[in-house]
């Protein structure tokens, strides 16, 4: 579903917004709807050209952003007869040097996600060649430019945006007049690419179309999904044009459109501070956001904000409706105060009318869903400890095996341990499987997938760590569950789609416990999208179970993963963590030894998981303190997901 901001839609306000947003923006609830919309636009262009008896030239991108667009184009081809016979494609870029059969190459990516599944003639596909000799690169780049122009130029160019603000691999410092060329990659870009280069160095260079090549396209669609893109999206759309953020050059193009999901759009003025650019449709959520913003901006606790503060900061609307700033302050202060509770499972025998959780039943059955085997303790370890200490029946459910995220050297160590044990004690009857696994590990080429046995070993390593972590928190072994959801088991970062079999497993788990409380990862910024799929499986399981009587009382709380915290105005339950609990949480995270020091998939953050978790929890506590609430060591935050049938 496409979403609107809180601004009233007056024509003169639209003009005001146009001054702020220099590239037209459309925002969808999620990236799936937005990707489908773009795929439909591309399909329309292809069909139109077909009817005119001519060809369509597409500029294509790689990376995580366009994957769903390609998925939808493949579906349109397979199910609705969309033909690519008249399509020519030019990819934006390729690492240099790069062999086309390497799994990290963009040739591999494009074949895997699109070309292998559609009817495009192979000779119509163009991807910068990462294998050519250095001295031939300038003439090759000229040929690439000429080839695009000889076909009439790009009809549609699709783009993602890097955290440096790059488009293609046009890193900060690239000029508007730049053409296809060899470039050096920015450090941040190389860091972001590290997830695809497990145990290998990310190339330092790439061949990329230039800004000028991109700007010559007749239509440009640039996409961004997820909170980690929100700040650069704001800069690209709202800031001055500058070569330090090459995507700002798109502001000069007459037919560029930015497609965003809700999280990537969150920092745009129209969503973040709409009162600065127009007249708002106020509701309690927006009022809370505005008051928090004012308090942070003026570095004043909420209860000290005055009428003048509101008047002088574009928020006079708010106090017109209230008798005074003070009344508004108290209303917002109380709302936020009521989110803070040391009783995440509800406080027994207490008035619960203003508490986030119900007092009854005093002892609740609780499920904590953890997408990977460590998200439970990283994201909500303090709350997990409290729920156990306060006597609830807590079950932890690990949704996936997490078997791709173990270093080869760790797996080898365990395999050798088992071999040695087998040889020295004779208790393993057949050592040949271990021998094979050891050989496979030693022969493994960078980027190559693991054998089944090695994946099993890696999965078991994580299982053992998860058990140790949950036991440390204090739950019995029969409350620790492993689902090993099949969608995850591909041995690579590209996962299968969610199947009924995955959902059934989750349904069985929930029905066997009949919980009053379920916690799940609502963090959609995880690099491989596993959290997203795991959450979807829970939503679908709830939907399947909604007719069960006990489901009426089953509340779903979402926590964020290791990457981002909810902003304070979105938090519905804030659980304070004492200094001692924070240390215990750290120890529980330490049980996940394969993820310590330098985890195989660190994401975009150089800190270790326990450091990120602690920083994040301390920042949340400090945020509350600055607004004038009590000072806690740390806070874990949750949001309740309300189903319309509850
Ligand atoms: C890809 C490309 C890059 C990416 C950008 C975003 O061909 O040129 O500009 O579009 O780095 O990457 P993701 O989509 O992985 O966040």
What is the residue-wise DSSP string for 104-155? TSHHHHHHHHTGGGS---GGGEE---TTS-GGGHHHHHHHHHHHHHHTTS-S
Q: For residue 60, give the ligand 1 atom closest to its CA.
A: 7
User: For atom 2 of ligand 1, which residue has the closest CA?
Assistant: 168
Check pLDDT > 70 for residue 346: yes
For a mutational test of ligand 1's pocket, the pick from 58, 67, 162, i.e. the residue with the most ligand atoms closer than 8 A to its C-beta, is 162
292 assigned to some structural domain: yes
Whether residue 356 lies inside any domain: the answer is no
Residue 360 belongs to a domain: no
Percent pLDDT > 90 in the chain is: 82
Does 358 map to a domain? no
Closest CA to 525 of 289, 157, 231: 231
What is the C-alpha separation between 644 and 646, in angstroms, rounded?
6
For 568-615, the pLDDT digits (tens) are 999 999 999 999 999 999 999 999 999 998 888 777 678 899 999 999
**Whether the predicted pLDDT of 219 surpasses 90:** yes
d(CA 267, CA 280): 17
Quick: pLDDT tens for 74-110: 999 999 999 999 999 999 999 999 999 988 999 999 9
What are 558's strand-pairing partners? 520, 639
Site to substitute for ligand 1 among 65, 126, 194, 524, most atoms within 8 A of C-beta: 65
Q: Is residue 483 located within the same domain as residue 525?
A: yes
Ligand 1: atom nearest CA of 66 is: 14
Tell whether 422 and 324 lie within a shared domain.
no
Q: Is residue 510 part of a domain?
A: yes
Choose the final residue of a domain: 271, 299, 317: 271
Ligand 1 center–CA 180 separation, angstroms: 16
* pLDDT tens per residue across span 254-272: 999 999 998 899 999 999 9
User: What does the pLDDT read at residue 526?
Assistant: 56
CA–centroid distance, residue 161 to ligand 1 (Å): 6
- Closest residue CA from atom 1 of ligand 1: 62
Q: If you take atom 3 of ligand 1, which residue's CA is the nearest one?
A: 168
So what's the pLDDT on residue 496?
Answer: 86
CATH number of the domain bearing residue 108: 3.40.50.1360
Atom 12 in ligand 1: residue holding the nearest Cα = 63
pLDDT tens by residue, 313-322: 999 999 987 7
Radius of gyration of the chain (CA): 27
Cβ count within 10 A of residue 375? 30
Q: Are 90 and 225 members of one domain?
A: yes
Asked whether residue 345 is assigned to any structural domain, the reply reads no
In a domain, 352, yes or no: no
Phi, psi of 394 (to 5 degrees): -100, 130
The per-residue pLDDT of the chain, averaged, comes to: 93
Return the structure tokens found at 184: 């050096």
Are 266 and 298 contained in the same domain? no
Which one of 253, 271, 289 terminates a domain? 271
Same domain, 493 and 471: yes
What integer pLDDT is reported at residue 92 of this predicted model? 98
Question: How far apart are the CA of 168 and the centre of ligand 1, in A?
Answer: 7
Query: Which residue's C-alpha comes closest to atom 8 of ligand 1?
Result: 168
Do 460 and 550 share a domain, yes or no? yes
Cis peptide preceding 489, ω within 30 of 0: no
- Domain residues for 487? 365-641
**Number of separate domains in the chain:** 3
Q: Is residue 58 part of a domain?
A: yes
Measured in Å, residue 191 CA sits from the centre of ligand 1 at 13
Q: Do both 396 and 287 map to the same domain? A: no
Q: Which residue has the higher pLDDT, 14 or 332?
A: 332
Q: Which residues contact ligand 1 via a Cβ below 6 A?
A: 61-65, 92-93, 160-162, 166-169
- The protein residue with its alpha carbon nearest to ligand 1, atom 9, reads 168
473 has pLDDT over 80: yes
CB 239 within 8 A of CB 216: no
d(CA 623, CA 295): 11
pLDDT of residue 191: 84
- Ligand 1 pocket test, pick from 70, 94, 158, 161 with the greatest ligand atom count within 8 Å of Cβ, gives 161
Nearest-atom index, ligand 1, CA of 160: 10
Q: Is the pLDDT of residue 10 over 60?
A: no
pLDDT at 440 over 70: yes
Shared-domain flag, residues 330 and 380: no
CA–CA separation, 26 vs 24, rounded Å? 7
pLDDT at 199: 67
Q: How far is the CA of 62 from the centre of ligand 1 (A)?
A: 6
pLDDT given at position 562: 63
Protein residue whose Cα sits closest to atom 4 of ligand 1: 160
Average of pLDDT values for 201-213? 96
pLDDT digits (tens, 9 = 90+) for 55-80: 999 999 999 899 999 999 999 999 99
For residue 596, give the CATH number of its domain. Answer: 3.40.50.10320
Q: So what's the pLDDT on residue 373?
A: 97
Pocket test for ligand 1, best of 108, 160, 214 (most atoms within 8 A of CB): 160
Using CA atoms, how far apart are residues 193 and 231, in angstroms rounded to an integer?
19
pLDDT at 127: 98
Q: Is the confidence at residue 623, as pLDDT, over 90? A: yes
Which alpha helices (DSSP H) does 280-431 contain, by range? 284-298, 307-311, 316-321, 325-337, 375-389, 408-425
The residue-averaged pLDDT of 3-32 equals 78
Position in ligand 1 atom list of the atom nearest CA 225: 16
Residues serving a catalytic function are 171
Domain final residue, candidates 227, 242, 271: 271
Centroid of ligand 1 to alpha carbon of 445 (angstroms): 25
Q: Which residue has the higher pLDDT, 442 or 224?
A: 224
pTM of the model: 0.87
Residues 180 and 287 reside in one and the same domain: no
Considering the domain architecture, whether residues 178 and 231 belong to the same structural domain is answered as yes
Spacing, Cα 193 to ligand 1 middle (Å) = 9
Looking at the fold, whether 228 and 324 belong to one and the same domain comes out as: no
Mean pLDDT of 286-300: 97
Same domain, 328 and 374: no
474 neighbors 389 (Cβ within 8 angstroms): yes
């Amino acid at each position: 579903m496409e979403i609107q901001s809180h601004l009233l839609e007056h024509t003169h306000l639209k003009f005001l917004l146009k001054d702020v947003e220099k590239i037209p923006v459309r925002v969808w609830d999620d990236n799936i709807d937005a990707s489908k919309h773009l795929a439909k636009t591309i399909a329309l262009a292809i069909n139109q050209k077909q009817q005119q008896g001519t060809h369509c030239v597409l500029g294509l991108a790689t990376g995580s952003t366009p994957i769903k667009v390609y998925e939808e184009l493949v579906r349109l081809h397979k199910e609705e007869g969309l033909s690519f016979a008249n399509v020519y494609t030019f990819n934006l870029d390729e690492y240099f040097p790069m062999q086309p059969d390497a799994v990290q190459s963009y040739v591999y990516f494009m074949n895997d996600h699109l070309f292998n599944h559609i009817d495009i003639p192979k000779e119509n596909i163009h991807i910068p060649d990462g294998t050519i000799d250095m001295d031939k690169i300038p003439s090759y780049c000229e040929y690439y430019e000429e080839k695009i122009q000889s076909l009439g130029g790009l009809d549609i160019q699709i783009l993602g945006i890097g955290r440096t603000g790059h488009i293609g691999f046009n890193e900060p410092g690239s000029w508007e007049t730049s053409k296809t060329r060899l470039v050096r990659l920015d450090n941040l870009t190389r860091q972001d690419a590290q997830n695809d280069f497990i145990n290998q160095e990310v190339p330092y260079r790439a061949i990329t179309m230039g800004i000028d090549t991109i700007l010559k396209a007749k239509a440009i669609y640039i996409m961004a999904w997820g909170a980690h893109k929100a700040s650069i999206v704001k800069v690209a759309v709202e800031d001055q044009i500058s070569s330090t953020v090459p995507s700002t050059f798109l502001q000069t193009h007459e037919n560029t459109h930015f497609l965003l999901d809700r999280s990537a759009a969150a920092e745009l003025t129209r969503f973040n501070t709409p009162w600065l650019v127009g007249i708002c449709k106020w509701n309690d959520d927006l009022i809370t956001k505005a008051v928090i913003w004012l308090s942070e901006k003026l570095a004043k606790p909420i209860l000290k904000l005055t009428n003048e503060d509101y008047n002088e900061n574009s928020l006079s609307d708010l106090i017109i409706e209230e008798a005074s700033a003070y009344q508004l302050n108290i209303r917002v202060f109380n709302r936020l105060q009521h989110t803070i509770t040391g009783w995440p499972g509800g406080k027994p025998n207490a008035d619960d009318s203003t508490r986030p959780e119900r007092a009854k039943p005093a002892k609740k059955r609780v499920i904590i869903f953890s997408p990977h085997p460590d998200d439970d303790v990283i994201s909500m370890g303090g709350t997990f400890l409290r729920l156990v200490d306060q006597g609830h029946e807590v079950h932890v459910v690990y949704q996936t095996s997490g078997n791709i995220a173990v270093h080869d050297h760790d797996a080898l160590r365990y395999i050798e341990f088992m071999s040695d044990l087998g040889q020295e004690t004779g208790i393993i009857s057949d050592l040949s499987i271990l021998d094979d696994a050891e050989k496979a590990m030693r022969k493994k080429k960078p980027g190559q997938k693991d054998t089944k046995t090695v994946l099993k070993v890696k999965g078991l390593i994580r299982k053992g760590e998860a058990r140790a972590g949950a036991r440390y928190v204090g739950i019995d072994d029969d409350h620790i569950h492993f689902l090993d959801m099949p969608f995850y088991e591909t041995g690579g970062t590209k996962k299968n789609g969610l199947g009924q079999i995955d959902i059934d497993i989750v349904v069985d788990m929930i029905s066997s416990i009949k919980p009053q409380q379920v916690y799940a990862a609502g963090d959609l910024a995880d690099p491989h999208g596993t959290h997203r799929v795991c959450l979807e499986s829970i939503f679908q399981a709830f939907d399947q179970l909604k007719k069960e009587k006990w489901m009426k009382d089953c509340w779903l709380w979402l926590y964020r993963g290791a990457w981002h915290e909810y902003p304070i105005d979105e938090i519905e339950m804030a659980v304070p963590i004492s200094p001692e609990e924070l240390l215990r949480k750290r120890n529980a995270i330490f049980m996940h030894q394969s993820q310590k020091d330098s985890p195989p998939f660190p994401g975009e953050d150089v800190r270790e998981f326990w450091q990120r978790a602690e920083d994040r929890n301390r920042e949340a506590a400090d945020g509350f303190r600055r607004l004038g609430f009590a000072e806690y060591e740390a806070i874990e935050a949750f949001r309740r997901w309300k189903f319309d049938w509850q």
